[in-house]
Structure 1
Amino acid sequence: MRLLQIIDSLEAGGAERMAVNFYNYLNGVKGIRAFLVATRKEGILKKELKIPSNYLYLGRKRAIDIKAILKLVRFAKEKSITHVHAHGSSYFIGSMLKLAIPKLVFIWHDHYGNSEFLNERRYSVLKLCSNNFDGIIAVNKKLADWNSKKLNCTNCTQINNFVQLAENADENVKLEGNQKVKLICVANFRPQKNHLFLLNVIAKLSDKDLSLHLFGKHFNDEYGNNILELIEKMTNVFYYGSKPINREILNQASIGILVSKSEGLPLVLLEYAEAQLAVICTDVGECKAVIEDTGIIINSGNEDELLAAINSYAEDSTKLNSSALKFHELVKRKFGAEKIIKQTIEFYKRCS
């Protein structure tokens, strides 16, 4: 089996990290050789590729970029690709590849983060392209059900995300501040992630011995600018930009937090668990199914609940440490890489 993972960029997003995770892990599986193509942009995740020689960057400029499509087709033929695993929005160029080489087994992976607002999802092009899908992987049940009902491919399954957390990075990051309790939030600056809500709550805890540390991409838009303006007024909030998240960074914190308005199955929760952090998260997407009773779940946008959650951990180190350990053990059991890879390979075979 010769597998090609396709992703539009190698920036630090959930779908991007999963494409890299699959690529790296599958290259260690007997009988499989894995390849990776980034179509539009490279990014910080390129440094994490374990076998750079099996990677190709297309430099795609537009939706229908003939030069990029031909480059992809040549690569697939040269490497004798048998299966294509396209992540997120890369389904379009993946469909072009399938049309050029019909014998390919083509699987699309749906990482759609706004699963709380599926009624607003635009999918006319996706539905057309789904005629070329041999199978669909969805990160949660809600997406799996939506795909089965809305798209022209009924061979759909739910497979959980998994993590391969790097031990360190080329650029070491030391969390700033000398506060006793450090909260970390890893989320790109998108309205869906609700940073402004989080910052408003942290402002009400300014008298507490705690700090908040934000990692994520700023898209140079009004939303991101508003976040930075708030941070400048706060002495216990620090922003580090977009960085590859590794164990060394996470181990400096004690609480991982995510207050999104909507999610699929956020990879960052699994990273928090891998680093053995206590967790606070909103009840959206599959978050509650991931955390179960090992962390604190709050309703989206509820300031009182978030205040109480942060205080309960900050004021009780025994509870914090116990929750962190239970969350770590739960995720290791349910979202272990070996288990998820086995399920994925079995699905590849069923689609063949």
Structure 2
Amino acid sequence: MSKVRVLQIIKGLGLGGAERVVCDIVRTLDHSRYELTVAYLLPHKNALVAELEALGVEVVCLSEGDGMGVASSLRLWRLLSSKQFDLVHAHLPSTGIWLRLFRPFFSFRLLYTEHNLWSSYGLLIRWLNRLTYPLNSVSMSCSVQVWRSAGERGIVIRNGIDLDRFQVSPAKDMAGNARICVAICVANLNPKKNHAMLLEAVATMPLREGFRLLLVGQDGHCREALEGQAAALGLSDIVIFHGPSADVVGLIAGADIFVLSSQFEGLPISLLEAMAAGLPAVCTNVGGISEALIDGETGYLVAKSDTERFSLRLSELVDNESKRRDFGAAARKRAELNFGLEKMVASLDAIYCKQLAQ
């Protein structure tokens, strides 16, 4: 029996949440049933390429820097023609819109996953997404809030993570007064993640002695401004700009609290990973975050841009090791019940099978 030919396509393969989801889907699907290919557009966002190739998966970069230009469109056409895919699964609106334009010329079923709130996209992308959305064979959203932002079209398949990669760390050494409490933020340095508000919240914490904030993520064009802000707020010795890392698992394992101050989110993988590692969290209440983080049980939800509240909630966890431990245990349990990778991929596999039967 021949394998089902599946193309996963996304804009880039950098160290981002949607990219991590694509890699985990490819790794977990049954390779005895599926012949998998991954295509991406941005050649400079290739951090996850080696991981995919190590699985024996063909990875194709469609662009040499022209984005969705004529040359990359011709490469995509040749790829679709040569492989004769049964299913094409597009992620994020740019590649989704692109594939919808190609679909009338091919016989594949087109699956699309929305990873962000529509309000986080520019006006042109929102308009094109809305105009072409009916061309999807099936539309999926990573959270209920994302589904609602898409006009409640399609179905919800929540993000999942490999829980086995994240083990709850044993109680850390509490000897003496040299104990350092580390809050970690895993988010690329761009305005939508609102690191500026996070720095302001840390600056207004009543007590900062023995506290560190670790910022992990691609630097983007905001790092210089954020470093300047940290210096102006007197946080240069407290805030650590780590940059991107392939070892997020290890960094999260060494932290005590997870923080995220985003203005927009779908269902952040970094939050799910922190929950799996048994970390309590303080996050802004945007997108699908409230579908994962339960306020007062696994951490705290704060209104978007409420710097004062964010500071108070973070201080509360920094000062209360017992509460951190209780919230963290509840977070791990919630991750196990709701956000395992196997659950997400099983739901996706069922959708694939249903589409193939049509």
Q: What TM-score range do you get, normalising by the shorter chain?
A: 0.7 to 0.9
Contact 1:113/1:263 (CA < 8 Å) preserved in 2?
yes
Instruction: Provide the residue aligned with 2:213 in structure 1.
Output: 212
State the distance in 2 between where 1:119 and 1:96 align.
Answer: 20
Letter in 2 for 1:240: H
1:321 aligns to what?
A: 325
2:95 equivalent in structure 1: 90
The aligned counterpart of 2:355 is: 351
Deviates more, 1:263-272 or 1:225-234: 225-234
Which residue of 1 is the match for residue 15 of structure 2? 12
Q: Is the 8 A contact 1:231 1:238 kept in 2?
A: no
| Cα 1:30–1:318 shift into 2, 3 Å | farther
Question: RMSD of aligned C-alpha atoms?
Answer: 2.6
Change (3 A) 1:327 1:290: same
Tell me which residue corresponds to 1:231. 230
Can you give the 5+ residue segments of structure 2 that lack an aligned partner in the other structure? Answer: 167-177
After TM superposition, give the deviation of residue 59 of structure 1 in Å.
1.8
Q: Percent identity?
A: 22
Give unpaired runs (5+ residues) of structure 1: 169-177
Deviations 1:82-133 (A, max 9, x none): 10110102113322442331x1000111112465x68967422223433431
Bigger Cα displacement from structure 2, 4-13 vs 72-81 = 72-81
Please report how far the alpha carbon of residue 213 of structure 1 lies from its aligned counterpart in structure 2 after TM superposition: 0.3
Contact 2:185 2:260 (C-alpha < 8 Å) held by counterparts: yes
Amino acid at match of 1:130: Y
| Alignment match, 2:267 | 265
2:188 aligned partner, one-letter code: N
Instruction: Within 5 Å, give how 1:74-113 maps onto structure 2.
Output: 74-88=78-92, 89-101=94-106, 103-113=107-117
* Contact 2:259/2:282 (<8 A) preserved: yes
Distance 1:278 1:25, change over 3 A: same
Partner of 1:183: 183
CA contact (8 A) 2:143 2:291 kept: no
Asked if structure 2 preserves the Cα contact closer than 8 Å seen for 1:87 and 1:108, the reply is: yes
TM-score by length of 2: 0.84
Match of 2:150 in 1: 147
- Seen in structure 2, the aligned counterparts of structure 1 residues 255 and 146 have a Cα distance that, compared at 3 Å, is closer
Does the CA contact (< 8 Å) of 2:13 and 2:48 recur in 1?
A: yes
The within-5 A match list for 1:11-160 is: 11-26=14-29, 28=30, 30-41=32-43, 42-49=45-52, 50-59=54-63, 61-62=65-66, 64-88=68-92, 89-101=94-106, 103-113=107-117, 115=119, 122-148=125-151, 154=153, 156-160=154-158
Structure 2 residue identity aligned to 1:328: R
> SS in structure 2 opposite 1:240?
strand
Structure 2 CA distance for aligned equivalents of residues 48 and 15 of structure 1 = 15
Alignment partner, residue 171 of structure 1: none
Q: Which one of the candidate residues 297, 304, 320 is aligned to 1:300?
A: 304
Contact 1:69–1:96 under 8 Å retained in 2 = no
CA distance in 1: counterparts of 2:282 and 2:338, whole angstroms: 19
CA distances 1:137-193 after superposition (whole Å, capped 9, x unpaired): 1122233234346xxxx5x1111011237959xxxxxxxxx7610000011112221
Is contact 2:183-2:255 (8 Å) kept? yes
